[in-house]
């Protein structure tokens, strides 16, 4: 009924993460089963129930933008600075840094969160907004306080700015979108970019996501929801997806991008092809307000992605899980997997990369998608950390210890929000047509 969609392949990876910057460092850490979670260094966590996180260390954004654009780093929140690094790396990896595609045929679709302000940008104004009785005074806000904020404050924190800065840096004049759907944002952005190329609206798309929860206000928000692990004395062991002793997620930061490209466009320029994006599906729990999640979002998303890919669960090489390490969340995910995959659910290898990366929310899907693509490239599934006592209620075949051979050259990657908004992507090694 519809036009035959064009085929879409992945031709580049860029990653700025707690497990390294660039795909080589990232893969080495994943394959070695290292954890990127440690006691927080960039902010003082004293006073918070959590003192650990997945921080990106040793990242100098100046090295990732041209000299002429360095002044713009001042108006980029941390999330955006991480994103421009991932963008630089993805262009290099795809071999498109000096050999740019037609600007009108390349676009961007990037996930981001509501970005929390740095406290220092608001503190000088806050202290000037008090009246004699130490109450907030709107009159003083206007007359004495607001002028102490940076003039471009708003632009530094708008969630569409990762897309906009990257489009400016790399002259991406084609379709441009910014998805703000919490943990599902990256997968939705990658899936949407896939559709954009498939229908012919662009030939090449930069897709991915970024986030930084390593910010006092962002951490307070997560802690208030009692979402975070309390294993402060053992950071590397804190995030335990599908383990019986899991007790919550670990906040993190990071950005990752992939270069999606129409198959013939990639072939003509002799690009290295990591795999073909063959399936995308999204769904939502849609449970009444206050009701517990039931995994409908996962089920609808996974079933749609499989149907889209024309694949059965038995053909999947591994399940790249959302697996944030929360008590209820992991169980809901595992049950949905059993519902959709049937007998295959207990057999398919499962790895939850948040176990070492933490949860970079709007960026998590892109980071984990890149991990999946590297697994495909190396033919090895990197282990899920901290699962010595698999939760018997989850009944999953979690890859632990050392990397396991990837027997079927494909994977499915899933992420979901607190409201059960889920998105799934399926990649398969390119089969020569």
Partner 1 sequence: MKATRRRVVITGMGMVTPIGNSLDETWDGLQNGRSGVARITRFPADTLPTQIAGEVKNFRLGDFVAAPESFQHCGHNTRYAIAAASMAVRHSGLDPERIDRTRLGVYLGSGEGQQDFENFITILAHASSADGNVDVPRFNRLGMEHLHPMRELEQEPNMPSGHLAELFGAQGPNSNCLTACAASSQAIGEALEIIRRGDADVMISGGAHSMIHPLGLTGFNLLTALSTHNKNPASASRPFDGDRDGFILSEGSGVVILEELEHARRRGATIHGELIGYGSTADAFRMTDAHPEGRGAIAAIRGALADAELTPGDIQYINAHGTSTGVGDLVETVAIKAAFGAEAYRVPVSSIKSMTGHLIAAAGSVELITCLLVIRDGVIPPTINYEHPDPQCDLDYVPNTAREARVDVALSNSFGFGGQNVCLVVRRFTE
Site for partner 1 in 169-228 (CB under 8 A): 170-182, 184-185, 188, 192, 195, 199, 201, 216-217, 219-221, 223-226
Instruction: Find the DSSP H helices in 94-182.
Output: 120-127, 138-140, 153-157, 161-170
**SS3 state of residue 109:** strand
Distances (CA, A) of 169 to 59, 163, 193, 260: 19, 10, 19, 18
Which one of 124-132, 317-325, 330-338, 407-415 is the stretch in contact with partner 1 (CB under 8 A)?
124-132
Which one of 148-156, 335-343, 364-372, 375-383 is the stretch in contact with partner 1 (CB under 8 A)?
148-156
Nearest to 420 by CA among 319, 289, 325, 308: 289
Q: Which of residues 127-146 bind partner 1 (CB under 8 A)?
A: 127, 129-130, 136, 138-143, 146
H/E stretch holding 53: strand 52-54
Q: Which of 20, 33, 45, 382 binds partner 1 (CB under 8 A)?
A: 45
- Residue 281: Cβ within 10 Å count: 25
Q: Which of residues 366-425 bind partner 1 (CB under 8 A)?
A: 417-421
Residue 34 or 418: which CB sits closer to partner 1?
Answer: 418
The yes or no reply on residue 61 touching partner 1 (CB under 8 A) is: no
Q: Which of residues 230-269 bind partner 1 (CB under 8 A)?
A: none
Q: What's the closest the beta carbon of residue 236 comes to partner 1, in angstroms? A: 23
Q: How many binding residues for partner 1 (CB under 8 A)?
A: 103
Residue 35 or 421: which CB sits closer to partner 1?
Answer: 421
Tokens at 164, concatenated: 């906009």
- Residue 155: Cβ within 10 Å count: 16
Q: Is beta strand 318-320 parallel, antiparallel or unpaired with respect to 275-284?
A: unpaired
Residue 17 or 176: which CB sits closer to partner 1?
Answer: 176
Nearest to 106 by CA among 14, 170, 28: 170
**How many Å apart are CA 209 and CA 82, to the nearest integer?**
10
Q: What's the closest the beta carbon of residue 16 comes to partner 1, in angstroms? A: 21
**SS3 state of residue 309:** helix
The yes or no reply on residue 126 touching partner 1 (CB under 8 A) is: yes
Q: Which of residues 308-367 bind partner 1 (CB under 8 A)?
A: none
Which one of 276-284, 315-323, 391-399, 402-410 is the stretch in contact with partner 1 (CB under 8 A)?
276-284
Is 369 in contact with 110 (CB distance < 8 Å)? no
Q: What's the closest the beta carbon of residue 317 comes to partner 1, in angstroms? A: 24
């Amino acid at each position: 009924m519809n036009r035959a969609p064009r085929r879409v392949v992945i031709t580049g990876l860029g990653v700025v993460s707690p497990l390294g910057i660039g795909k080589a460092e990232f893969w080495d850490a994943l394959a070695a089963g290292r954890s990127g979670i440690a006691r927080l260094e960039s902010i003082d966590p004293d006073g918070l129930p959590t003192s650990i996180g997945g921080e990106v260390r040793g990242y100098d954004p100046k090295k990732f933008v041209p000299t002429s654009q360095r002044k713009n780093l001042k108006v980029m929140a941390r999330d955006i600075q991480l994103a421009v690094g991932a963008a630089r790396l993805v262009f290099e990896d795809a071999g498109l840094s000096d050999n740019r595609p037609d600007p009108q045929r390349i676009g961007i679709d990037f996930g981001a969160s509501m970005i929390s302000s740095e406290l220092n940008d608001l503190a000088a104004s806050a202290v000037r907004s008090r009246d004699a009785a130490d109450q907030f005074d709107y009159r003083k806000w206007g007359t004495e306080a607001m002028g102490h904020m940076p003039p471009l404050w708003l632009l530094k924190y708008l969630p569409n700015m990762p897309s906009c800065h990257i489009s400016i840096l790399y002259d991406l004049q084609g379709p441009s979108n910014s998805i703000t759907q919490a943990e599902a944002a990256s997968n939705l952005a990658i899936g949407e970019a896939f559709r954009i190329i498939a229908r012919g609206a662009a030939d090449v798309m930069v897709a991915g996501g970024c986030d930084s929860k390593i910010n006092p206000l962002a951490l307070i928000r997560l802690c208030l929801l009692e979402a975070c692990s309390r294993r402060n004395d053992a950071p590397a062991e804190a995030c335990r997806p599908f383990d019986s002793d899991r007790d919550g997620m670990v906040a993190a930061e990071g950005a990752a991008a992939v270069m999606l490209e129409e198959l013939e466009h990639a072939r003509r320029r002799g690009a290295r092809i990591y795999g073909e994006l063959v399936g995308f599906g999204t769904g939502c729990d849609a449970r009444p307000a206050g009701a517990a999640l039931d995994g409908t979002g996962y089920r609808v998303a996974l079933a749609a992605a499989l149907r889209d890919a024309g694949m059965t669960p038995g053909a999947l090489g591994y399940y790249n899980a959302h697996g944030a390490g929360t008590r209820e969340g992991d169980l809901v995910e595992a049950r949905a997997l059993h519902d959709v995959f049937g007998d295959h659910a207990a057999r398919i290898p499962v790895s939850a990369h948040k176990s070492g990366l933490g949860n970079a929310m709007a960026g998590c899907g892109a980071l984990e998608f890149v991990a999946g693509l590297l697994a495909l490239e190396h033919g090895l599934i990197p282990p899920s950390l901290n699962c010595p006592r698999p939760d018997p209620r989850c009944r999953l075949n979690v890859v632990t210890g050392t990397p396991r051979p990837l027997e079927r050259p494909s994977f499915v990657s899933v992420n979901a929000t607190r409201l059960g908004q889920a998105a799934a992507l399926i990649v398969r090694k390119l089969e020569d047509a």
